[in-house]
Chains A and B, each alone.
Chain A
Amino acid sequence: MRNASHCLRAAAIASLAGAVLATASPAIAQKKYDTGATDAELKIGNIMPYSGPASAYAVIGKTEAAFFNKVNAEGGINGRKINFISYDDGYSPPKAVEQARKLVESDGVLLIFQSLGTPSNSAIMKYMNAKKVPQLFVATGATKFGDPKDFPWTMGWQPNYQSEGRIYAKYLMENHPNGKIGILFQNDDYGKDVMKGLKDGLGDKTSMIIAEVPYETSDPTVDSQIVKLKASGADIFLNIATPKFAAQAIKKVAEIGWKPLQIVNNVSNSLGGVLVPAGLDNATGVLSTAYYKDATDPTWKDDPGFKAWSEFMDKYYPDGNRTDGNTVYGYLVGQTLVQVLKQCGDDLTRENVMKQAANLKLDLDMLLPGISVHTTPTSFYPLQQLQMEKFDGTRWQRFGPVISGEVGG
Chain B
Amino acid sequence: MPAPSEEMMEAIAEPAVPEVSAPRLVGHRSVIFATLAIALVLPFLVQSFLTFQLTLVLVYAIAIIGLNLLTGFNGQFSLGHSAFYALGAYVAAMLMDKVNFPYAATLPVAGIACFVFGFLFGLPALRLEGVYLALATFALAVATPQILKLSPLEYWTGGVQGIVISKPDAPYGLPLTQDQWLYFFTLLVTVIMTLLAHNLVASRTGRAMMAIRDNPTAARSMGINIALYKSLTFGVSALYTGVAGALGAIVVQFVAPDSFTFFLSITLLVGLVVGGVGWIPGAFFGGAFVLFVPNFAESISKGLSGAVYGVMIILLIFMLPTGAAGLVRAVTQRLRGQNIR
Contact = CB atoms under 8 A, between A and B. Distances in A.
A–B proximity contact (CB within 8 A)? yes
B256 A119 contact: yes
Nearest to A97: B252
Contacts of B49: 101-102, 105-106
B247 to A, nearest CB: 12
B298 A122 contact: no
Interface string B48-64: 11101100100000000
**In the complex, which of the residues A94, A187, A216 has the most CB atoms of chain B within 10 Å of its own CB atom?**
A94
Interface string A46-67: 0000111000000000000000
Interface stretch (B97-105, B158-166, B194-202, B329-337): B158-166
B256 A127 contact: no
Contacts of B252: 93-94, 97, 123
B160 A97 contact: no
Interface stretch (A83-91, A274-282, A384-392): A83-91
A92 interface: yes
A288 B59 CA distance: 46
A317 B159 CA distance: 39
Contacts of A216: 146
B162 A93 contact: yes
B266 to A, nearest CB: 12
A101 B160 contact: no
Contacts of B220: none
Nearest to B163: A122
A93 B256 contact: yes
B47 to A, nearest CB: 6
A51 B146 CA distance: 21
Interface string B282-319: 00000000000000001000110110000000000000
Tell me whether chain A's interface is mostly helix, strand or loop, or mixed: helix
B302 A98 contact: no
B161 A189 contact: yes
Contact of B306 (A51, A102, A119): A51
Contacts of A126: 164, 253-254
B87 to A, nearest CB: 16
B161 A98 contact: no
Contact of A127 (B56, B253, B261): B253
A119 B149 CA distance: 13
A332 to B, nearest CB: 22
B253 A188 contact: no
B302 A86 contact: yes
Contacts of B159: 189
Contacts of B278: none
B180 to A, nearest CB: 13
Contact of B305 (A50, A93, A127): A50
A123 B253 CA distance: 8
Interface string B139-150: 000100010010
A106 B256 contact: no
B298 A87 contact: yes
**In the complex, which of the residues A87, A106, A118, A119 has the most CB atoms of chain B within 10 Å of its own CB atom?**
A119
Contact of B259 (A93, A102, A127): A93
Contacts of A187: 149, 160
Contacts of A97: 252-254
Contacts of A355: none
B263 interface: yes
Given A94-B259, A189-B161, A123 B254 contact: yes
A243 B78 CA distance: 34
Contacts of B263: 52, 90, 92
Given A97-B254, A188-B149, A122 B259 contact: no
**In the complex, which of the residues A51, A91, A118, A119 has the most CB atoms of chain B within 10 Å of its own CB atom?**
A51
B132 to A, nearest CB: 22
A88 B302 contact: yes
A50 B303 contact: yes
Interface residues of A, number: 31
B255 to A, nearest CB: 8
A93 B142 contact: no
Contacts of A87: 298
A122 B257 CA distance: 12
Nearest to A123: B254
A364 B52 CA distance: 41
Contacts of A50: 298, 302-303, 305
Given A98-B56, A106-B47, A192 B160 contact: yes
B305 A51 contact: yes
A238 to B, nearest CB: 19
Contact of A105 (B47, B298, B305): B47
Contacts of A51: 305-306
A93 B52 contact: no
A233 B305 CA distance: 48
A371 to B, nearest CB: 29
A25 interface: no
B129 interface: no
Nearest to B262: A218
Contact of A88 (B50, B52, B253, B298): B298
B206 interface: no
B323 interface: no
Given A106-B47, A122-B162, A123-B252, A98 B53 contact: yes
Contacts of A189: 159-161
A187 B150 CA distance: 10
Contacts of B160: 118-119, 187-189, 192
Contacts of A93: 162, 252, 254, 256, 258-259
A123 B53 CA distance: 16
Nearest to B309: A51
Contacts of B50: 106
B248 interface: yes
A187 B258 CA distance: 13
A218 B306 CA distance: 20
Interface in A1-58: 50-52
Given A51-B305, A122-B161, 20 more contacts: A50-B302, A50-B305, A88-B302, A88-B305, A92-B259, A93-B254, A93-B256, A93-B259, A97-B253, A101-B48, A105-B49, A118-B160, A119-B162, A119-B256, A119-B259, A122-B162, A122-B256, A123-B162, A123-B164, A123-B254
Q: State the 7 A-B residue pairs at the shortest beta-carbon distance, nearest first.
A: A105-B49, A123-B254, A119-B258, A188-B160, A189-B160, A94-B252, A93-B259
Interface of A: 50-52, 86-88, 90-94, 97-98, 101-102, 105-106, 118-119, 122-123, 125-127, 144, 187-189, 192, 216, 218
29 contacts: A50-B298, A50-B302, A50-B303, A51-B305, A51-B306, A88-B298, A88-B305, A91-B258, A93-B162, A93-B258, A94-B248, A97-B253, A97-B254, A101-B49, A101-B52, A102-B49, A105-B47, A105-B49, A118-B161, A122-B254, A122-B256, A123-B252, A123-B253, A123-B259, A125-B164, A187-B149, A189-B159, A192-B160, A218-B142
